[in-house]
Structure 1
C-alpha cells in the first residue's frame, strides 16, 4: 500500500463536523497547463463536469498522496505561506464570492486556516462549482431498487428494457458449480458429505480449497492429504461454502480498471471486512447473534456492487472515480447518486437476489450503509460497524466517521469490543494479507 510520511492512504478522509459545515474546502486540481486551486463550501460536492464546462479546462484531481505532500509543506503552517498559496490560479464557488474572510480546511492534510479575500489574485474566477447533497437527492428516481436500476441504465445506454432486467443487461450467469454451492448454502441439512463432491469436480475450486487450507492464517498442524482432509479438519463446511461463493461472485465480473487512485484493493477490503464482521458477530449477545458464517459471506460481498457498477457503466466509471478523489469526505453513495442515479448497494443486492443468494446476505449488503433503516437487521449492523472501524485504520475506503452509538447498542456491542477485535485481527495481518493474495489470484 502507498505510504506518505509513514501514513497509510485510502480513499476517504474525516467527515464534516457541524462547525466544518460552515467552512470552505480547498481542492488541488491540475492539467497540462499546471495546478489550480478550487474553493467551495465544504459540505458541497465538487461538480467536476460543471467546473470543466465553466472553466474551459479538463482539470483533474491530484492523487491523495500528492495532495497530502503539497498541503503538508511546513511553510503552509504560517500566514505568509498560506497567503502565497493563492498566487496559484484560483476558482471559487459563487456562493462564497461575497465573503471577506473564509475559514478554510483541506481534508487530506488537515490544514486549516482563515484566509482574507484580499489574498486572492487577479486570476481568481467565481463559477458554479458545488452542489448540495439535498439537491442530489431531489433529482433521484423514485421506486424500488429494480425501478431505480432500470432508470439508471436507460439514462446511460440505448437499451430498451423489455425482458427481465438481468437478461437485458447482459450480466453473466453463475457457473454450475456456483449454483450448486448456493443450493448447499440454502439447505440447512447440507453438510461436508454434500460439499466434497461439488468441490472435487471443479479443478479450480479444488486447488483454491487446498491453497486456503495451507494458508498461515489457519495454522493447521500436519500436512493436508486430500480435499476431505482440508474441509473436515481445517476449514469446515461454512468457511469453504462462503469463500467459494465470495470468490465465484467476485470473479464473475472483471474488476474495474480506472479506479480511484490509492484505493484499498477490492479483495483486501473484502477479506478484512468479512474477518472483522465475523469476529464481532461472535461477540454479540447470543439471542441476537446472526450466523457468523453468513456474516462472513456478507462482509466478503459487501462491496460487490462496486464491481457491478464498473460492468454496467464503463464509460462513466472513470468519471465516478475522479469525483470520489475530488470529494473524499462525502458518502460514496451520494457521489454515485449524482453520477449514476444508483448506488453500489442497490445493484449489488439486486443481483444477489437474482442469483438466489441467502436473503440475509442480500439484505445485509443492501443496508449496511444505512443500518438503522426499517429493513436493516443484525447483518447490516455488524458489517456497518466492521466497515467503519476499518476505515479508521485505512483498511477500507470511504469517509472516516465515528461508529454510530445507536448501531452499537442495537448490535449489543461496544467501542471497546470493536477496538479489541481490531487489535486481535491486526496481530494476524501478515496471514490475512497472504489470504488476500490467494483469493485475488
Structure 2
C-alpha cells in the first residue's frame, strides 16, 4: 500500500505525460472516426475500422483502470471482455462491435480524456515551477534581471528571487492539487459506489433467479415430454397386451403366453426408460463418488468415443458438480444426436475457484440456442449457478463449448 504522498508523487509525472500526449491522441481518435465514416460504404471497410476502434477503446479503458488502480491503490473490479453469443462467421466482428456498447469502456475513455485535461493544466503549472527555479538564480546574474513574462521587464534581482519563490510555491501547489483531483476523479469514475454495487448485485441475483426458474421450466417440460412420449405409451401398451393375454388365456394359451412375454419385454424397456429419466435428475454416483466418477459412468454409456481428462483433486459443492455434469451430458447428447460426431474431447479442471470444462467434437456443427431447447436449459442452469457458458459451432464444425462454474472445495 502506498501512502498518499507517494501516490501524489507518482501521479504528477503521469499527468505531465498525459498533457503531452492529449493532443496527438485526440487527433488520432478523430482521424480514425473520420476514416471509418469515409470508408463506411467502401466494401464495408468502415465497419472493420469501427470494430477495431472498439477493441482499441476497450484496451485503452483497461489500461486506464490498471494505471489508476496501481497509482492510487483503488479496488477497481475486473473489466471483462464482452463476447458475442453468435456461432456463425460474424461472431468475431460482432464481438468487436459489442465493445461500443460497453459502458465501462466509455467511462474509461472519459476518464482518460478528463485526466488529459488535467495534464494540460499540469504542463502550465510545471512551466511556472521550472521558471521559478530559473528566477532563483537572478541575484547571480547581476543587480537587475529581465523578466519577459507578462511584459514585466527588468526588475531588481531580489524581486525576481521573490517572484521565483512564489512561482515555485504556486506551481507546486497547483500540480499537487491536480494530482489530488486526479485521485478523486479516478475514485469517482472507476470505483463503483456501495449503492451501485448493491444495485448490480440485486440485478444479478434477479437474473440468476429468473434463469433458475427458466431452467426448471425447461427441465419440467423435458420430463413431461419423456413421460408422455416414452414411458406412458409403453405402459399403456403393456396394459393392453396383458388384457389381450387374459382374454386368450382359456381359448388360446399359446397366444396368451406370447402376449405375456411381449408385455414382459415391454415392461423391461419401460423400466430402462424410467431409469434413464431418473438419471436425468441427479445420478446417485454423482452424490456418492463425485464428478469424476459420474462423468466416467456417463462416458461409458456414450455411443461416441470420448477422450476425457479430469483433474479434480477435491470434492465440490453439490450444485457445482451437478451443474458441470449436466453441461457435459448435454454436450455429449448433442454431439451424438445432432452433430453426428465420431469423436469428442473433454477437459475438466479447477482453477481460481472455478470448475472449468472444454468440450469439443468433430461433428457437422450448426448448433444454436433456441428458447426451451437443451442448450438453452443448460445455459440458464450454468448462469443461475453464477458460471459462464460459451460455445462456437459454425456450419461444418467443430463445436467447441467452454463452461466455468464457481466451486468451493
TM-score bracket for the superposition, by shorter chain length: under 0.3
Q: Which has the larger radius of gyration?
A: 2
Whose helix proportion is higher, 1 or 2? Answer: 2
TM-score by length of 2: 0.20
TM-score by length of 1: 0.19
